A and B are shown apart, each in its own frame.
Chain A
């Protein structure tokens, strides 16, 4: 996202409580056009609440959120989003084609050729062969693919996806990554709520890590997984320098050489999203 461009999705200070439980405590988040933002966090962190709030299923206690300049949840905002809920269901009696037809009728952005749109979307998510298959005859993975096709109806400017790959096998996840990459290339903003860190590393331009209703880290994958610390093996053995940043490593090596050390190996500490996640969030399930 460009530094100056207004983000397509902009949220500031969102709070939400369910009786005594604070689900969101002042969340700020931006998603620009053509940007994929991965929303990470443990169970109960507030990710689904945030996603629901942005598409109008849940009302915020305070804070503001706009989608394309319109208040989140308003009719103009809803007409520009595609949403896939974590727990959703389509009528079991309906075929894939009928599900998409119903949503086409409701989307207020009718395609010039609705039948072609349905076929193209089903093919895009790998269900080109299943247009006439009833939902109740589909596997969970097929239903999730259909859910993604439903979210793409009307060419939304913003995709809000809550665990879109939770029921998919590796091939299905690959398909979804390709679909989302194409959506990004078309200029669609994507907020991807997932537990799958590897997926976020492969796809997301930026990551927002949320815990206990607050954003605890945000930035590009490269920024968040930047090298931090190094292990240097010299004639005196291996020594860890955990606090040194990437740009300080050459100076450290020069100093060791000046001090007469023989350098056998320099191993920068490569951080991963998982490392960051565990460092900032840990295992909340066992901490409760």
Chain B
């Protein structure tokens, strides 16, 4: 026995510890590859743009905004736009961090040296998902909180349920992360990225269709949007978030008619379904990765 091994014993397997080691490895890569630096700088820039936009709006049309009729609409509309861009950018971040997690990294030979260790495949999946979720959810959390605070400070007004948007966006990006993990068990890096982002786009388009359907009283369009919201619950969460921003009464109709998808309340059922959806994605990914030949 070598001297450095003297006294060493076989440690009991600790799945949580293994997950954290893999997550740490993925996060280290994000730091070393300057992913987080770039994201941080661009987020500061886009946050600055949002701030400038809000200030400019306040300065130029401040008089109109002060009327009681219009006052609630502006912050709701701005936060609706911010919610869209936050969820979109958070989803892009998540997809880029996760698209190569399984098949892509298996093809590159990065995974095999790790999963032949006692760590196992589930811990590997869990670690990669945890790292992507921590980064993308933190991003969405920070940006949406920032946007809400800036809006409140500048307009001195917020929709009553504005803070309830934040957890919905965070869960929305969590759905995207779990979906990307699942798809990355089946497809190569590029195919995973393209398919998840196209699904994301399809979800948003379905939201717009639903809103058109509601406006024109076209039940088929509304039904399509409803089905897609359940199939892709990040879209359901986004629409539920918009609902929280919508002012009550006739004014609310104006905000709901925004161009980026319509507000729609999902209720508690959406939360339960979304939790089950994320768990199902994880189980399917585990099953698929577990039986794959590497």
Which residues does A use to contact B, with CB under 8 Å? 18, 52, 55-59, 75, 78-79, 81, 83, 85, 87-91, 93-94, 98, 102-103, 105-114, 116-117, 120, 147, 150, 155, 186
Contact = CB atoms under 8 A, between A and B. Distances in A.
A274 to B, nearest CB: 30
A110 B117 contact: no
Contacts of A79: 10, 13, 117-118
Given A56-B115, A91-B110, A112-B7, 17 more contacts: A56-B116, A57-B115, A59-B293, A78-B117, A79-B10, A88-B113, A89-B108, A89-B110, A90-B110, A93-B29, A105-B21, A106-B18, A108-B10, A108-B12, A109-B8, A109-B10, A117-B4
Q: How many interface residues does chain B have, given as a range?
A: 35 or more
Interface in B62-119: 108-110, 112-119
Tell me what chain B mostly uses at the interface: helix, strand, loop, or mixed.
loop
B18 to A, nearest CB: 6
Question: Most chain-B CB neighbours within 10 Å: which of A102, A110, A186?
Answer: A102
Contacts of B156: none
A102 B294 contact: no
A111 B4 CA distance: 6
A109 B51 CA distance: 53
A85 B10 contact: no
Interface in B1-59: 1-13, 17-18, 21, 25, 28-29, 32-33
Contacts of B5: 111-112, 117, 155
A108 B120 CA distance: 12
Contact of A78 (B7, B11, B110, B118): B118
Given A85-B112, A88-B113, A155-B1, A94 B28 contact: yes
Question: Most chain-B CB neighbours within 10 Å: which of A85, A91, A147?
Answer: A91
18 contacts: A52-B294, A56-B115, A57-B293, A75-B118, A78-B120, A79-B10, A83-B113, A83-B116, A85-B109, A89-B109, A102-B21, A106-B114, A108-B11, A113-B4, A117-B2, A120-B2, A150-B113, A155-B8
A89 to B, nearest CB: 4
Interface of B: 1-13, 17-18, 21, 25, 28-29, 32-33, 108-110, 112-120, 291, 293-294
A88 B109 contact: yes
Contacts of B21: 102, 105-106
A58 B115 CA distance: 12
B29 to A, nearest CB: 6
Given A57-B294, A93-B32, A186 B1 contact: yes
Contact of B293 (A58, A88, A90, A109): A58
Contacts of A55: 116
A147 B4 CA distance: 20
A139 to B, nearest CB: 17
B8 A90 contact: no
A94 B32 CA distance: 8
Given A108-B10, A111-B8, A103 B1 contact: no
A145 to B, nearest CB: 14
Nearest to A134: B32
Contacts of A106: 18, 21, 114, 117-119
Contacts of B108: 89
A89 B110 CA distance: 5
Contacts of A103: 113, 117
A18 B109 contact: no
Nearest to B112: A85
Nearest to A74: B118
Contacts of A107: 117-118
Contacts of A113: 3-4
Contacts of A78: 116-118, 120
Contacts of B2: 117, 120, 155, 186
Considering the complex of A and B, which 8 residue pairs feature the smallest CB-CB distances, nearest first?
A93-B32, A116-B4, A106-B117, A117-B4, A112-B7, A57-B294, A89-B109, A79-B118
Contacts of A75: 13, 118, 120
A108 B13 contact: yes
Contacts of B28: 93-94, 98
A58 B294 contact: yes
A81 B115 CA distance: 12
A59 B13 CA distance: 22
A116 B3 contact: yes
A135 B119 CA distance: 23
A109 B11 contact: yes
B31 to A, nearest CB: 9
B167 to A, nearest CB: 33
Contacts of B25: 91, 102
Contacts of A59: 291, 293
B105 to A, nearest CB: 9
B214 to A, nearest CB: 49
Nearest to A54: B116
Contacts of B33: 93
Contacts of B17: 105
B116 A81 contact: yes
A108 B118 contact: yes
B100 to A, nearest CB: 12
